[in-house]
Amino acid sequence: MNQALPRAEAHTDSRDVESEILALALREPELGQAAVAERLRLAGLQISASGVRYIWQKHGLETAVKRLQALAEQASEGVEVLTESQRRLLERGELSARLARGETANDAGGKEAASDSGGEPLERRQLILNAAAELFSEQGYDRSSIRDIARKVGLLPGSVYHYFPSKDELYLAVHREGFQRVLARVRAAAETGSDPWDRLRLACEVHVSGIVEGSPVDRITGHSLSFTGNQELLAKIQPYRESYEEVFRELIKALPVAAGTDRSLLRLFLLGGMNWIYLWYREGRRSPKDIADAMVDMVRRGVEPGG
């Protein structure tokens, strides 16, 4: 069925708008339709968010996963052209699509990965972890049941118990995996820094990116899931948090700062500021990288003029 391009300003060449939308789809595939429309407006090209979606649909690019696929297919290096977070997003999208069709990795022609506990496929386990992280985050540990989590994934409760023998074990698994993932990424990023401030900046970029762009499990480091009065359970989680905070403790210890600076307070101030981002972040205004860089710069240089 033929559709007219949604209204644009009369002086704007619709071909220029379309070509720029397609270019942005490959340059910044994770941008939403509203963010793309705003980006074009700032460049003097007028089109609505629904107009952006129309162009995406016309070219089969209506989801971030499809745009990432197009970017990987166009590049000579394939998926290696994608960032680590983009590859994870692409993998999750493709996995969800296969599971929705009732397929497994073997059905798709690949070798199905095995879990740490006896060869069970990892796909369903990962979906359970993501669903649990979302529910624990949204409504707290005490109000989230295994039945709720199973329903969110489209499984029977018994299937969840097959992977996790209790809600406590599931809660711990979410935290353990979340902190292990981000810990590895933060360490790897910091090691590439050229000096102590650059290492801290790179670590903060990974932290903020995980909070606003990662999977529900990835976001655990910033969005506290500890909404439970179970002190024994919280005590089991604390070592994961301590291991993660130790990385930032070492990074801040290495900074050249003014005499008398309370480095412990500096660490808590910076981590606390980053962890609140999930509450106010809106896609399209500033990228996670821009936010992290600005926060580190304000900590380093202050905000008083002429300082």
DSSP annotation string for 112-134: PPB-TTTS-BHHHHHHHHHHHHH
Q: Which of 65, 82, 99 is the C-terminal boundary of a domain?
A: 82
Same domain, 294 and 170: yes
Contact between residue 224 and residue 279 where contact means Cβ atoms under 8 Å apart:
no
Q: Look at residue 214 in the predicted model and tell me its pLDDT.
A: 80
* Sequence letter at residue 193: G
Structural domain includes residue 21:
yes
Structural domain includes residue 49:
yes
Alpha carbon distance 134, 73 (integer Å): 32
Name the nearest CA neighbour of 182 among 172, 190, 171, 170: 190
Alpha carbon distance 48, 38 (integer Å): 9
Question: What CATH number corresponds to the domain at position 273?
Answer: 1.10.357.10
pTM: 0.58
Find tokens 């089969």 and name the residue. 60
List the domain range (segments joined by +) for residue 276. Answer: 166-301
Which 3 state secondary structure label does DSSP give 272?
helix
Q: Would you state the structure tokens that stand for residue 35, as one six-digit string?
A: 């963010």
Diameter of the chain measured on Cα atoms: 70
Same domain, 66 and 188: no
Contact between residue 143 and residue 118 where contact means Cβ atoms under 8 Å apart:
no
Q: Which of 53, 82, 111 is the C-terminal boundary of a domain?
A: 82
Same domain, 71 and 170: no
DSSP state of 303: S
DSSP state of 170: H
Alpha carbon distance 288, 293 (integer Å): 9
Lowest mean pLDDT among 93-102, 142-151, 190-199: 93-102
pLDDT single digits (tens) 53-95: 888 988 988 888 888 888 888 888 777 788 877 877 776 666 6
pLDDT single digits (tens) 269-306: 999 899 888 888 887 788 889 999 999 999 999 888 87
Neighbours of 151 (CB within 10 A): 15
Output b/e per residue, 158-192; b: 16+ Cβ within 10 A.
eebeebbeebeebbbbbbbbbbebbbebbeebbee
Q: Would you state the structure tokens that stand for residue 22, as one six-digit string?
A: 């397609």
pLDDT single digits (tens) 131-172: 898 888 878 888 889 999 988 887 788 889 989 999 999 999
Alpha carbon distance 188, 182 (integer Å): 10
Q: Which of 36, 66, 82 is the C-terminal boundary of a domain?
A: 82
Structural domain includes residue 211:
yes
Q: How far is CA 90 from CA 13, 41, 128, 237, 284, in A?
A: 33, 28, 18, 29, 20
**Stretch 217-226: mean pLDDT, rounded?**
69
Name the nearest CA neighbour of 16 among 40, 32, 48: 40
Give the DSSP letter string of 83-116: -HHHHHHHHHHHHHHHHHTT--TTTTTSPPPB-T
Structural domain includes residue 122:
no
**Stretch 188-194: mean pLDDT, rounded?**
93
Name the nearest CA neighbour of 298 among 212, 201, 196, 206: 201
- Split into its structural domains, the chain has a count of 2
Structural domain includes residue 88:
no
Percentage of residues in the chain having pLDDT higher than 90: 26
pLDDT single digits (tens) 104-134: 444 433 333 344 434 444 578 888 998 898 8
Lowest mean pLDDT among 103-107, 162-166, 172-176, 234-238: 103-107
Structural domain includes residue 7:
no
DSSP state of 112: P
Structural domain includes residue 172:
yes
**Stretch 10-21: mean pLDDT, rounded?**
71
Alpha carbon distance 170, 16 (integer Å): 51
Structural domain includes residue 148:
no
Question: pLDDT tier at 226 (50, 70, 90 boundaries)?
Answer: low
Same domain, 171 and 296: yes
